[in-house]
Amino acid sequence: MFMRVRTRVAPSPTGAPHIGTAYIALFNRAFAKHHGGQFILRIEDTDQVRSTPESETAIFEALRWLGLDWDEGPDIGGSCGPYRQSERTALYREHVDRLVTSGHAYRCFCTSERLAALRLTQEANQERIGYDGHCAGLDAGDAAQRVAAGEAHVIRLRTPQEGVCQIADRFRGTIEIAWETVDDQILVKADGFPTYHLANVVDDHLMEITHVIRGEEWISSAPKHLLLYEAFGWEPPVLAHLPLLRNPDKSKLSKRKNPTSILYYRQAGFLPKALINYLGLMAYRPEGDLEMFDFDTMVASFDLDRVHLGGPIFDIQKLRAFNGHYIRELEDVDLLATLKGWLLQDASLLELVRMAQPRLEQLADFVPMTAYLFADQIPLDPADIDQAGKDSGKAAAWIQFVQWEFARLGDWDADGVRDCFNRVAEREGVKFKLLLGVFFRVFSGRAVALPLFEALVWLGRDMTLRRLHYAQEALREAGLGLSGKALKRLEKWYQERYLREGGEDG
RNA sequence: GCGCCCAUCGUCUAUCGGUUAGGACUCCAGGUUUUCAUCCUGGCAAGAGGGGUUCGACUCCCCUUGGGCGUGCCA
């Protein structure tokens, strides 16, 4: 019988939409489309603490911008909905109950303190880190009673003590992992929400996903997933683990070392076509060793056998070259339209006009006055930035604090931005004006510019964070930056001074 | 530490036992262009090391080395 191909991408809505999500989505969509199947978007918001609706919206926006549209998803529905895991909790509850009844899972009452202590001794004795099965042998009746009494607990997967799990990886063939190295994974957290492992398996089955193409970071938890399929009596999908995108230093792509937000790439003026083309070159080469291609071309000959397993380094330099190629390929009128759709649209220009108007003496002042807001990287004078902080080294530290503050700021608006600066000024005991002096230079390259908070709101969080990063880089290159040691110290300081005494600032 | 994955120019990759190991980005040189950019031409640059298997290994196997990921009530 012909099986309809269904793939999915399942990002969690925490933070900015990640370039790695686009990479995984691209391969899943290309594979599904090649086989005339469906590509599904599922939001994995089972982490109640970190998931935000803003982030979810940003994911929609980012993937749509790239043209990676989905056939079924939270915003457009579909026959296997809902597509947001937080709306499927009853489903998970129901399924995990079956597991507890059948003995494939058990309730665990261990406190996080006990778990922490356990880990400590395991580390000290150089033993394998993992749950010791303390609650695995609990009598089911007793456990039910404790639950009824309201005792906090989680539900764990009961993994085999011996034997070997064979994972059929589409790219690597059979991978063998000994069961003794697989932990009794938590399936349901104390808050009643499922963990990724449970929700993922239940959803992939219920949504009739046939091929799970995901990052290779998941290989080691594949045994747990396979065990779940078996426990439910379901046939597992085909598993295909793509190599991870890397930083230039070969580590897993991270925002500390690279811009990872898709929205950054949009604002920095990359074209979706270029980004898709470049991403399609990561770990992959289409038929005929083709280098420049669009999504449809990729789909036409898409073949998982052409995936290369070495972890590709995401090289912005090459992306830029590709982007330049696509810009040149545009008709002039189309480029103009693209430019207008980018940041030269009335709505965004109007905001700049409002900021500039009180400061304008000639119309000719407008473009020079606002130019720095359209750039990605602007020329910076690290010595000037450092001096603006009065004591050398202060500027770099303040920038770091502001980076952390911005990263955890909720709504990106002028008040929120101001509060961040206020907090830093207060905690560091520095005059607000002096502190801002540093940041005018960081963002505009000058001591005087448009009103800072409004300008940053206009710039957007991703670009703002990027600018902060550029400033740190410039300072470091000039020998005025933070050493690794200093950074560690600041981190501790930040945790103590900023995170622990929340709420006392207005 | 333990488990797993990976390994061709600096980077992305082609090669599916026999090639002068090819292309792209970067860099360098030359040409076109009032400058610059574009564009064109050329150049630098690679099979981690050691064992096997084979008439023959970048290609298959093993070991070593290197890198990565995992080891969360995160995904």
Residue with more model confidence, A393 or A241: A241
* Burial (CB count <10 Å: 0-12, 13-18, 19+), residue A237: buried
A337 CA to B20 C1' distance (Å): 49
Of the candidates A43, A32, A16, A36, the residue with the CA atom closest to the CA atom of residue A68: A32
- Interface residues 120-149 of A with strand B (CB < 7 Å): 126, 128-130
Give the nucleotide at minimum CA-to-C1' distance from A183: B71
CA A498 to CA A415: how far, in whole Å?
18
* DSSP state for residue A187 in the 8-state scheme: E
Q: Report which secondary-structure segment, H or E, holds A360.
A: none
Q: Is the dihedral of CA A337, A339, A344, A347 positive or negative?
A: positive
The single residue listed with the structure tokens 């925002």 is A255
- Interface residues 328-367 of A with strand B (CB < 7 Å): 328
Q: Mean pLDDT lowest for which of A6-10, A42-46, A394-398, A489-493?
A: A489-493
The answer to whether A397 touches A492, Cβ cutoff 8 Å, is no
Longest Cα–Cα distance in chain A: 82
Of the candidates A331, A313, A349, A330, the residue with the CA atom closest to the CA atom of residue A271: A330
Q: What percent of chain A has pLDDT over 70?
A: 98
Residue A501 binned pLDDT confidence (cut-offs 50, 70, 90): low
Of the candidates A125, A116, A190, the residue with the CA atom closest to the CA atom of residue A152: A190
**Residue A185 reports pLDDT greater than 80:** yes
Active site residue A255: yes
The answer to whether A141 touches A106, Cβ cutoff 8 Å, is no
**Which one of A33, A189, A224, A255 is the catalytic residue?**
A255
A172 CA to B51 C1' distance (Å): 25
Give the nucleotide at minimum CA-to-C1' distance from A217: B69
Give the nucleotide at minimum CA-to-C1' distance from A215: B69
Q: Mean pLDDT lowest for which of A45-54, A235-244, A310-319, A403-412?
A: A403-412
The single residue listed with the structure tokens 């998970």 is A92
**DSSP letters for A379-411:** ---HHHHHHHTSSTTHHHHHHHHHHHHHHH-SS
pTM beyond 0.90: yes
* Burial (CB count <10 Å: 0-12, 13-18, 19+), residue A478: middle
A469 CA to B10 C1' distance (Å): 24
The answer to whether A100 touches A106, Cβ cutoff 8 Å, is yes
**Residue A505 reports pLDDT greater than 60:** no
Nearest amino-acid residue to B4, taking CA and C1': A220
- Interface residues 270-289 of A with strand B (CB < 7 Å): 281-285, 289
Listed as ranges, the nucleotides of chain B within 7 A of a protein C-beta are 1-8, 10-14, 22-26, 38-39, 67-75
- Interface residues 37-76 of A with strand B (CB < 7 Å): 44, 46-47, 50
3-state secondary structure A195-260: CHHHHHHHHHHHCCCCEEEEEHHHHHHHHHHHHHHHHHCCCCCEEEEECCCECCCCCECCCCCCCC
pLDDT, one tens digit per residue, over A55-78 is 999 999 999 999 999 999 999 999
